[in-house]
Structure 1
Amino acid sequence: MTAISELGAGEFSHQALLYHDDSSYLAGVVPFVLEGLAAGKPVAVAVPGPKLDRIEAALGPAARDVRLLDMAEVGRNPGRIIPSVLHDFADAHQGRVRVLGEPIWPERSSAEYPACVQHEALINASFAGSAVTILCPYDTSRLSEQALADAHATHPVIADESGTRASEGYAPDEAFSRYNLPLTAPPDAEEFSFDLGSLTKARHVAVARGAALGLSQDRLDDFALAVAELCANSVQHGGGSGVLRVWREHGDVIAEVSDRGYLSDPLAGRRPASPRQLGGRGLLLVHRVVDLVRTHSTPEGTTTRIYLRG
């Protein structure tokens, strides 16, 4: 696995902003946005909806020059933030941009949180050597001590009311690995073993089970597409076969695919596809159409789990 922390820094900046109330939040984020605009840089703000409204109001007329995004929507699946939010904006402006992005907030679920930390760790590898500047706010009054420790591990620079400093706990590779957690399906999950000859049947099994578990037709189409991509990936890269499991949990319809492959590239599925690229879009597509992706991968095998809200 490529060491996240060993890739060059260039002009790239990835900072965690530690704030404790609305006043310290706006005092940190508004100057960041206005300084970017004053320097002639495109600026995007991707934070949860209520905070987006506060920032827009605080910016006044300057808000018209900022790309405003509700992170609760565009970043519902943390795995699509890098390709579909950060790269989408940076690549459209030749990379010299500022982004205020808040992927971790107190209402994130326990299932989402590990994927959020891995996303933050991977930002450093994805944009190393670029001129992208990213500021990520963290609520010290409501987030756990572990979440704040993870912020120090995934950001090379920490900012707060006292200024900025290098993070003494910066260790993105360790943070990513810490949340490469085993995934165990419940005993009542629908299970189907597949290989090349039964890929179509695997998709039909998933669709039938997803419909029985209450997915709408639109969501069922996304579910079928994601499952088909994961199963095909197992056949091509995971030893020629795999096991599909489907169940419902806490309002989500969940499917996971396990195989004997090893996902050695932590950025797989998070790099934007080149227009001339042949293949290699399967995991990227999965991240785009589902609400959450969790992965556990070791040299002994890989399990990829997808969540869709019913």
Structure 2
Amino acid sequence: MSSTTGPATDGHPFHHVALVYHTAADYVAGTVSFVRSALSRGSPVLVVVPPDNLDLIRTALGDDTRRVSFADMTVVGRNPAALLSGVVSDFVAAHPGQRTAIIGEPVWPERTEVEYPACVAHEALVNTVLAGHDLETLCLYDARRLDTRIVADAYRTHPLLEQRGKRRRSTAYTDPLALVDEFNLPLPPPPADAAVLDYTDRSALPRVRLFVSRQAEAAGLAEERVREVVVAANELASNTVEHTAEGGRVVVWTDPGVLVCQVEDTGYLPDPLVGRLRPDVTRSRGRGLLFVNQLCDLVRVHTRPGYTGFRLHFLL
């Protein structure tokens, strides 16, 4: 059974723990111990990992599988920016008054370099959003197949590390907002042959929707997915005309296996949590970026004074 020893016993209800594993046996031992420890306390448990590892954990748990919820991280966590507002918040909200436990594996070996900064931002912001919540999370990192810099970043995003059933404080842990700012990187330029549309005010929004729709159809997206691309682009363009005076630009192109839609303007988005949390139910506004994160397979953002670019990815 997992134990917390030494400086990791800090009295805080939220524990964000990284387990760096080297073998399948390490993986199974760490996850099964975590699950059974949580079940023994009466905690609801959610396991969100890639499908092969889901099978490993299910097999090892045996009859305890019936007491655990499972989800495929490659599906529900495809866009890391949607994990907090969807999977995590929904599970915690479904069990009010109970200490909950979640196993997650947001970075698996097939994650791309394009996706990775969004993963780090998610892992860092978990510490800000969930501080004070009665929740324990165990995040898994494959030391055999992940780059050493990814493992090093896991030590920076997790206050606690687990090794051989014992926990210790991470000496590399970094302030979450400082780390998010470090990964607020300029996006690579669009290809020279990308389709471009500039817009200035609300009267141009129908043109934006038509432009994006035609590009998505030409890329071969299904009708329902085309509508989702249009909704996402329209939300961002609407924000541009509401909050800036100079208008903005939509750029659309295809990379292998993906349609990319970039919406950029002269605004500045200093709060990295915008779009990652559901607004208070009493507020009628503030849900646009949340919808965008839920609709897209990946959202990358770069913002600085005088510029914000949203790069939306839709798998073909």
Using the size of structure 2 for normalisation, the TM-score is: 0.93
| Cα distance in 1 between the residues matched to 2:123 and 2:283 | 26
Per the alignment, residue 76 of structure 1 pairs with: 78
Per the alignment, residue 292 of structure 2 pairs with: 286
Matched, 1:52 2:57: no
| Cα distance in 1 between the residues matched to 2:278 and 2:65 | 28
Please list the CA deviations of residues 234-262 of structure 1 after superposition, one character each: whole Å capped at 9, or x if unmatched.
Answer: 12224451111000012100001111111
Matches within 5 A, 1:288-303: 288-303=294-309
Work out whether residues 295 and 303 of structure 1, in 8 Å CA contact, stay in contact via their aligned partners in 2. Answer: yes
Work out whether residues 30 and 165 of structure 2, in 8 Å CA contact, stay in contact via their aligned partners in 1. Answer: no
Per the alignment, residue 186 of structure 1 pairs with: 191
Work out whether residues 48 and 70 of structure 2, in 8 Å CA contact, stay in contact via their aligned partners in 1. Answer: yes
Unaligned stretches of 5+ residues in structure 1: 1-7
Q: Per the alignment, do residues 59 and 179 of structure 1 end up closer, same or farther by CA in structure 2, a change over 3 Å counting?
A: same
Per the alignment, residue 229 of structure 1 pairs with: 235
Offset, 1:210:
1.0
Work out whether residues 213 and 229 of structure 2, in 8 Å CA contact, stay in contact via their aligned partners in 1. Answer: yes
Runs of 4+ in 1 over 3 A off after TM superposition: none
Find the partner of 1:210 among 200, 216, 219: 216
Matches within 5 A, 1:12-161: 12-94=14-96, 96-161=99-164
Offset, 1:178:
2.2
| Cα distance in 2 between the residues matched to 1:203 and 1:289 | 16
Aligned residues: 303
| Cα distance in 2 between the residues matched to 1:90 and 1:157 | 21
What amino acid sits opposite 1:14 in the alignment?
H
Q: Which moved more, 1:157-166 or 1:265-274?
A: 157-166
Work out whether residues 297 and 313 of structure 2, in 8 Å CA contact, stay in contact via their aligned partners in 1. Answer: yes
Work out whether residues 9 and 128 of structure 1, in 8 Å CA contact, stay in contact via their aligned partners in 2. Answer: no
What amino acid sits opposite 1:180 in the alignment?
N
Offset, 1:49:
0.7
What amino acid sits opposite 1:252 in the alignment?
V
Q: Per the alignment, do residues 282 and 61 of structure 1 end up closer, same or farther by CA in structure 2, a change over 3 Å counting?
A: same
| Cα distance in 2 between the residues matched to 1:47 and 1:292 | 18
Find the partner of 1:267 among 273, 285, 289: 273
Offset, 1:187:
1.4
Please list the CA deviations of residues 46-78 of structure 1 after superposition, one character each: whole Å capped at 9, or x if unmatched.
Answer: 000110011011111111111100001100111
Q: Counterpart of 2:231 in 1: which secondary structure?
A: helix
What amino acid sits opposite 1:305 in the alignment?
R
Q: Counterpart of 1:222 in 2: which secondary structure?
A: helix
Using the size of structure 1 for normalisation, the TM-score is: 0.94
Unaligned stretches of 5+ residues in structure 2: 1-9
Offset, 1:125:
0.8
| Cα distance in 1 between the residues matched to 2:315 and 2:100 | 33
What amino acid sits opposite 1:149 in the alignment?
A
Q: Counterpart of 1:244 in 2: which secondary structure?
A: strand
Q: Which moved more, 1:266-275 or 1:47-56?
A: 266-275
Per the alignment, residue 6 of structure 2 pairs with: none
What amino acid sits opposite 2:198 in the alignment?
S
C-alpha RMSD over aligned residues:
1.5
Offset, 1:162:
6.5
